[in-house]
Amino acid sequence: MSVDPSELKPFKSTQPGHSSLRQISEDAFYVVNEVVIKRLGHIPIHKGDFHLLPPKVQRFVAEKAELMRPRGIYICDGTQHEADEIIDKLVERGMLSPLKAYENNYICRTDPKDVARVESKTWMVTRDKYDTVCHTPDGVDPIMGHWMSPEDMSDELDSRFPGCMAGRIMYVVPFSMGPLGGPLSKIGVQLTDSNYVVISMRIMTRVTSEVFDIMGDQDFTRCIHSVGLPRPVKQKVINHWPCNPDRVFIAHRPPEREIWSFGSGYGGNSLLGKKCFALRIASNIAKDEGWLAEHMLIMGVSRPCGREHFIAAAFPSACGKTNLAMLQPTLPGWKVRCVGDDIAWMKFGADGRLYAINPEHGFFGVAPGTSDRTNPMAVATFQKDSIFTNVAETSDGHYYWEGLEDEIKDKNVEVTDWLGNPWKLGDAAPAAHPNSRFAAPARQCPIIHPDWESPQGVPIEAIIFGGRRPDGVPLVFETYGWNHGIYTGACLKSEATAAAEYKGKTVMHDPMAMRPFMGYNFGKYLDHWMKLNTAERKLPRIYHVNWFRKSRDTGKFLWPGFGDNIRVIDWIIRRLDGDVGIGQETPVGIVPTKGSLDLEGLGPVDWDELMSVPADYWKEDAVEVRKFIESQVGPDLPAPIRKEMDDQEARINAM
Ligand code: GTP
Ligand code: SPV
Ligand code: MN
């Protein structure tokens, strides 16, 4: 068989034009395969057997190897042995160092320029702009969805990816989001030149070569990641953390199920199974297949009588998902077990109930503020086999961050901050970066739910939305129904956090807690949610909570939060059970009647301020929200959701 030379053009990575996106056609592949492998001859396979990969994975690996030109290819199998080998190498090179007080815990410091997701450099690429963003008026930038044309993307890729892995190893990481082979699970293959990413992916997803065995006809999501610093390196590498902050670029091609990420090694920028796949790409798959991919924790709550209820909750980044998912109830007889702390994939079952899985395999949690007092179950989870990034460390081999002040027992212990400098209690700068995080295997959580890996998922009875709302928003309210719940989710707002590049404490819109993670046109997304409401289904009820309301007088939190949030969950479950007399209608939803929350054993709580729905606040809010919805969703807003807005505004204006 002869080879059509045009089929080989894409592999000339130096060629101008849209070479990064060129693919070998399916028919030509078997012919070209031989040639590709021959051409790969000078790229040694360091581990694994290229010939044993499914043909479509071979093609993916070969194409991208030709493009990025690594010095070797390493096909991961996900075993402990492999992880040990990589960790040893990272320790030897100084990128990781053991935290000696624990078993297999490591600390890693990034280049201080690479510490969080970079939303301004994260794009969705679709032929039609309005598949990604809503029709906004002239001069209004859409805040949900960040669109780029395929042509522009192609240029951006071509100016970055050709040769970008020179002198580095390209790891091939096969992974499953959700239990391997489960009906709600999906598979991906990530290529990366960062071995920190390899070991982090192994904690956060199910990395195993069995993915190749079960792949069959299934599609897989193609994840291409490079730290963007080919060797020989021109600039200085800081903290043994190669990256290229000025050139960061993260792009998603939903129809192609493809993710390209360049220049950053940290978090959601580089662990592509997480926000990129499990939210931005998966929400597109979910729309096509009739399910939901959401930024939600999943928890099982058992009451003193023994009955268990499953709840999903959507809070924006750094607003308390991990904390709520692992809540330690302060009410006697209650038990919470964690199914997931960040992402939920949910699909209605044949019995009409909504079933949720946690597609992840680990927790990538905010370190500062996590302590035995606030989240003892998270602390127990990361006592071994975990990676801590951008935290501080003590001279006796412990991790350290803001919130652990009381746990430094030996006051002579020395602290080294996240930048590697000596640090003392009382210093103005924080010891740990505010977005420093632990990556820990979910199975190590002492209260992980026995069904957390159930392939079918757990049945969700309530969905909670919430954010940091210092003013005006009551501790909890129930929405008036599915569409009102969707509208309430669409109006979600929160104070900005350290999880992304935003600074300061402004209250920002974060619809459905999905603003940074929207995979497609938000109006269509609302429509998709709405259409899940069919007669034979038992829809979860929708609630809104706010742990973060502050006293207008003292500026202090009005609610103790954390373990005491069980008191709110208790009220929600009693509402689900149809308890009468515990709810009172307000223009925004049903709030607890006075005395209907179990406050036994709590100090004084200013109930009236905590639960109030102030007319002045909500009238102003209604104007602001309408402006937001009109300008950001505009004509894409489904009519029934517009009706919810009109009705709610009328109720507020009648206050
Ligand atoms: P991401 O991982 O970024 O998605 O964050 P998250 O939503 O999982 O937030 P997390 O649980 O890590 O909490 C973030 C911060 O909120 C921490 O500093 C917590 O201590 C704080 N927090 C969580 N729950 C509560 C609460 O009920 N009350 C108060 N006041 N603070 C809370
Ligand atoms: C978030 O920002 O919501 C995170 C951290 O969970 S990251 O994985 O970096 O997106
Ligand atoms: Mn979290």
Peptide bond into 232 cis (omega under 30): yes
Residues 314, 529: contact at Cβ < 8 Å? no
The mean pLDDT of 48-64, rounded to a whole number, is 91
- Is 223 an active-site residue? no
133 and 183 both lie in a single domain: yes
Domain with 22 in it: 5-68
Residues 435, 499: contact at Cβ < 8 Å? yes
pLDDT of residue 6: 42
**In angstroms, what is the span from residue 321 Cα to ligand 1's centroid?**
6
Q: What is the pLDDT of residues 186-203, one digit of tens each?
A: 999 999 999 999 999 999
Does the residue 105 lie in any domain? no
- 431: which DSSP letter? S
Does the residue 641 lie in any domain? yes
Does the residue 477 lie in any domain? yes
The mean pLDDT of 366-394, rounded to a whole number, is 97
59 and 147 both lie in a single domain: no
Lowest-confidence pick of 20-34, 43-57, 303-317, 620-634: 20-34
What band does 28 get if pLDDT is binned at 50, 70 and 90?
A: low
Q: Which of 76, 108, 223, 319 is catalytic?
A: 319
pLDDT value at 86 more than 60: yes
For residue 295, the ligand 2 atom closest to its alpha carbon is 3
Does the residue 589 lie in any domain? yes
Q: What is the pLDDT of residues 217-263, one digit of tens each?
A: 999 999 999 999 999 999 899 999 999 999 999 999 999 999 999 99
CATH number of the domain enclosing 647? 3.90.228.20
pLDDT value at 429 more than 90: yes
Residue pointed to by tokens 């302060």 = 330
194 and 282 both lie in a single domain: yes
Nearest-ligand number for the alpha carbon of 280:
2
Residues 74, 172: contact at Cβ < 8 Å? yes
Number of H helices, E strands in the chain: 17, 32
Q: Which two tokens stand for residue 647?
A: 């009705």
As for how many domains the chain has, the answer is 4
CA distances to 217, 242, 250 from 119, rounded to whole Å, are 34, 20, 9
For residue 341, the ligand 1 atom closest to its alpha carbon is 8
The mean pLDDT of 105-117, rounded to a whole number, is 97
Q: Which two tokens stand for residue 220?
A: 């897989």
Candidates 565, 629, 619; CA nearest to 597 is: 565
pLDDT of residue 3: 40
Does the residue 572 lie in any domain? yes
Does the residue 19 lie in any domain? yes
Q: What is the pLDDT of residues 166-182, one digit of tens each?
A: 999 999 999 999 999 99
Q: Given 397, 413, 444, which residue is the final one in a domain?
A: 444
Distance CA 173, CA 75 (A): 7
36 and 167 both lie in a single domain: no
CATH number of the domain enclosing 266? 3.40.449.10
Candidates 599, 497, 614; CA nearest to 552 is: 614
pLDDT of residue 506: 86
In percent, how much of the chain has pLDDT > 90? 89
501 and 640 both lie in a single domain: yes
Residue pointed to by tokens 């807005």 = 645
The mean pLDDT of 455-464, rounded to a whole number, is 98
What band does 97 get if pLDDT is binned at 50, 70 and 90?
A: very high
DSSP 619-648: HHHHHHHHHHHHHHTGGGS-HHHHHHHHHH
387 and 350 both lie in a single domain: no
469 and 573 both lie in a single domain: yes
**In angstroms, what is the span from residue 315 Cα to ligand 3's centroid?**
9
Adjacent-strand bridge partners of 550: 557
Give per-residue burial for 34-46: e unless 16+ CB within 10 Å, then b.
ebbeeebeebebe
Adjacent-strand bridge partners of 338: 299, 448
Q: Which of 275, 294, 299, 322 to mutate to test the pocket of ligand 1 (most atoms within 8 A of CB)?
A: 322
pLDDT value at 561 more than 90: yes
pLDDT of residue 496: 79
48 and 149 both lie in a single domain: no
Q: Which two tokens stand for residue 60?
A: 């993916």
What band does 15 get if pLDDT is binned at 50, 70 and 90?
A: very low
- DSSP, collapsed to helix, strand or coil, labels residue 123 as strand
- 327: which DSSP letter? -
pLDDT of residue 5: 40
Q: Which of 248, 437, 492, 514 to mutate to test the pocket of ligand 2 (most atoms within 8 A of CB)?
A: 437
Distance CA 133, CA 284 (A): 13
Q: Given 415, 444, 473, which residue is the final one in a domain?
A: 444
pLDDT of residue 503: 59
Give 51's Cβ-side CA count (13 Å radius): 3
144 and 230 both lie in a single domain: yes
Does the residue 613 lie in any domain? yes
Q: Given 395, 424, 444, which residue is the final one in a domain?
A: 444
What band does 502 get if pLDDT is binned at 50, 70 and 90?
A: low
Q: Which two tokens stand for residue 264?
A: 């950053």
495 and 601 both lie in a single domain: yes
Give 365's Cβ-side CA count (13 Å radius): 29
259 and 178 both lie in a single domain: yes
Q: Which two tokens stand for residue 450?
A: 């026995």
For residue 503, count CB atoms less than 10 angstroms from its CB and return exposed for 0-12, middle for 13-18, buried for 19 or more.
exposed
Candidates 650, 652, 627, 651; CA nearest to 637 is: 627
**In angstroms, what is the span from residue 116 Cα to ligand 2's centroid?**
8
Distance CA 565, CA 324 (A): 8
Whole-model pTM: value is: 0.95
Distance CA 545, CA 588 (A): 12
- Single-letter amino acid, residue 41: G
422 and 525 both lie in a single domain: no
What band does 545 get if pLDDT is binned at 50, 70 and 90?
A: very high
pLDDT value at 42 more than 80: no
**In angstroms, what is the span from residue 160 Cα to ligand 2's centroid?**
24
Q: Considering only CA atoms, give the Rg of the chain.
A: 25
Q: Which two tokens stand for residue 368?
A: 């500062």
Give 404's Cβ-side CA count (13 Å radius): 24
Q: Can you point out the beta strands (E) in 255-343? A: 258-262, 292-294, 297-302, 308-314, 335-340
Q: Find the residues whose C-beta lies inside 6 A of ligand 2.
A: 117, 267-268, 274-275, 317, 342, 364, 499
Residues 56, 25: contact at Cβ < 8 Å? no
Q: Find the residues whose C-beta lies inside 6 A of ligand 1.
A: 315, 317-323, 341-342, 365-366, 369, 374, 499, 547-548, 557, 561-562, 565
For residue 456, count CB atoms less than 10 angstroms from its CB and return exposed for 0-12, middle for 13-18, buried for 19 or more.
middle
Does the residue 108 lie in any domain? no
**In angstroms, what is the span from residue 323 Cα to ligand 1's centroid?**
6
For residue 323, the ligand 1 atom closest to its alpha carbon is 11
Q: Which of 250, 295, 317, 438 to mutate to test the pocket of ligand 2 (most atoms within 8 A of CB)?
A: 317
What band does 618 get if pLDDT is binned at 50, 70 and 90?
A: very high
- 515: which DSSP letter? G
Question: By alpha-carbon position, which residue is closest to atom 11 of ligand 1?
Answer: 320
